[in-house]
């Protein structure tokens, strides 16, 4: 059937085109995008395929991460309160820190491309109130019109009444901070690594149930997979390996990369997984994408997070809510 037919015109005029993942259609008007690690640590690397693709599209793309590093002990040069701008000009107190993924990622960009790609590293100890201020400064300086938070894993999409929630404190702190950020028209969440949070007891059946709920509310933007044959994925794996060569390996990243390389089942790449039984599989290479504000609407303690002053406050808010709930039990996937 020709594109000029009635059906063809209807298909072309529709809001979504099947050949383009919806997240990229939502981001199409955006010119200055901030891709940020949601749960801290290595989460920044889970956003790299998006970073590379958006850069290829000609957008200005910036990077940030909730840092697991002792940034006070590593540098005295701060971008703003509780945030360090990590690049090759940053004065590091210790030449080779034992854990500083933002630093090693920035160094990889410089060594490979001779380009400065700053990574904004937020102090892990702060709560939503101060984290929102740091995000607002970056938004104002770079005229950010879209923020994409990226979770390595899926426990960011927990609603507070799951029997086991994994480790959502850092995720929900970042999500609440971006939810409260000013003058950002597009706020998205992307999860990479379906299945990896089984290591922390997360029920992926409940994750799918939550995603179904978000589909009902218009918050779910669909999935798309990445492939080791794409340039974005090749650079993601190279960058991860450059970071991991200098510090502790990531269970999440090694699982995802093992899946991308075609491994399956109880395959171990790092000794950190020890005697645990893993289930490496192709679903780990899929991005699950959401409208962030719609996710936050499903988390009942969202309003209480806004005034938290520390990560301990965030954890206590979540724990207090969780202790009062009738918990949804694990869903065993029937497959």
**DSSP state at residue 80:** B
pLDDT digits (tens, 9 = 90+) for 309-335: 999 999 999 999 999 999 999 998 886
Q: Are 286 and 224 in contact (CB under 8 A)?
A: yes
| Residue 51, phi then psi, degrees to nearest 5 | -55, -50
Measured between alpha carbons, how far is 110 from 99 in angstroms, rounded to an integer? 19
What's the confidence (pLDDT) of residue 3?
Answer: 60
Of 103, 45, 54, give the one whose Cα is nearest residue 260.
45
Residue 82 half-sphere exposure toward CB, CA atoms < 13 A: 21
Q: Are 264 and 164 in contact (CB under 8 A)?
A: no
What's the confidence (pLDDT) of residue 9?
Answer: 75
pLDDT at 66 > cutoff 80: yes
Domains of the chain: 23-245+283-323 (3.40.50)
Confidence of residue 2 (pLDDT cuts 50, 70, 90): low
Across the strands, what pairs with 287? 192, 224
Residue 67 half-sphere exposure toward CB, CA atoms < 13 A: 26
pLDDT at 1 > cutoff 60: no
Measured between alpha carbons, how far is 254 from 250 in angstroms, rounded to an integer? 6
Of 214, 170, 179, give the one whose Cα is nearest residue 41.
170
Mean pLDDT to the nearest integer, 296-317: 97
Looking at the whole model, is its pTM more than 0.85? yes
Mean pLDDT to the nearest integer, 209-236: 97
Measured between alpha carbons, how far is 175 from 292 in angstroms, rounded to an integer? 7
What's the confidence (pLDDT) of residue 215?
Answer: 98
pLDDT > 70 fraction of the chain, expressed in percent and rounded: 99
pLDDT at 105 > cutoff 60: yes
pLDDT at 243 > cutoff 90: yes
pLDDT digits (tens, 9 = 90+) for 129-156: 999 999 999 999 999 999 999 999 999 9
pLDDT at 4 > cutoff 90: no
Q: Are 78 and 208 in contact (CB under 8 A)?
A: no
pLDDT at 10 > cutoff 80: no
Confidence of residue 16 (pLDDT cuts 50, 70, 90): confident
Confidence of residue 88 (pLDDT cuts 50, 70, 90): confident
String of b and e for 166-178 (b: at least 16 CB within 10 Å)? bbbbbbbbbbbbb
Angle at 212 between CA 164 and CA 156, to 5 degrees: 40
pLDDT at 229 > cutoff 70: yes
- Average pLDDT of the chain is 94
10 Å CB burial of residue 127 (0-12, 13-18, 19+) is: buried
Mean pLDDT to the nearest integer, 253-279: 90
pLDDT at 190 > cutoff 70: yes
Which secondary-structure segment (H or E) carries 178? helix 169-179
């Amino acid at each position: 059937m020709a594109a000029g037919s009635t059906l063809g015109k209807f298909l072309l005029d529709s809001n979504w085109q099947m050949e383009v993942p919806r997240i990229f259609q939502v981001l199409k008007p955006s010119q200055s995008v901030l891709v940020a690690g949601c749960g801290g640590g290595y989460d920044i690397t889970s956003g790299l395929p998006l970073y590379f693709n958006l850069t290829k599209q000609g957008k200005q793309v910036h990077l940030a991460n909730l840092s697991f590093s002792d940034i006070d002990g590593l540098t005295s040069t701060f971008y703003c309160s509780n945030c360090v701008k990590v690049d090759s000009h940053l004065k590091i107190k210790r030449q080779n820190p034992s854990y500083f993924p933002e630093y090693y990622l920035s160094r990889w960009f410089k060594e490979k491309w001779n380009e400065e790609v700053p990574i904004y590293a937020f102090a892990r100890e702060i709560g939503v109130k101060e984290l929102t201020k740091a995000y607002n400064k970056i938004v104002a300086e770079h005229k950010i019109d879209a923020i994409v938070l990226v979770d390595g894993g899926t426990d960011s999409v927990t609603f507070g009444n799951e029997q086991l929630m994994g480790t959502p404190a850092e995720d929900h702190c970042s999500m609440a901070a971006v939810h409260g950020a000013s003058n950002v028209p597009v706020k998205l969440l992307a999860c990479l690594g379906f299945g990896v949070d089984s290591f922390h007891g997360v029920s992926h059946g409940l994750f799918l149930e939550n995603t179904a709920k978000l589909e009902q509310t218009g918050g779910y933007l669909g999935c798309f997979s990445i492939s080791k044959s794409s340039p974005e994925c090749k650079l993601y794996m190279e960058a991860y390996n450059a970071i991991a060569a200098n510090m502790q390996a990531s269970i999440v990243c090694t699982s995802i990369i093992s899946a991308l390389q075609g491994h399956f089942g109880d395959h171990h790449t790092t000794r950190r997984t020890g005697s645990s039984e893993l289930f490496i599989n192709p679903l780990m290479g899929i991005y699950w994408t959401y409208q962030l504000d719609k996710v936050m609407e499903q988390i009942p303690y969202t309003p209480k997070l806004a005034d938290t002053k520390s990560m301990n406050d965030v954890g206590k808010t979540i724990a207090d809510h969780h202790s009062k709930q009738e918990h949804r039990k694990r869903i065993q996937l029937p497959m």
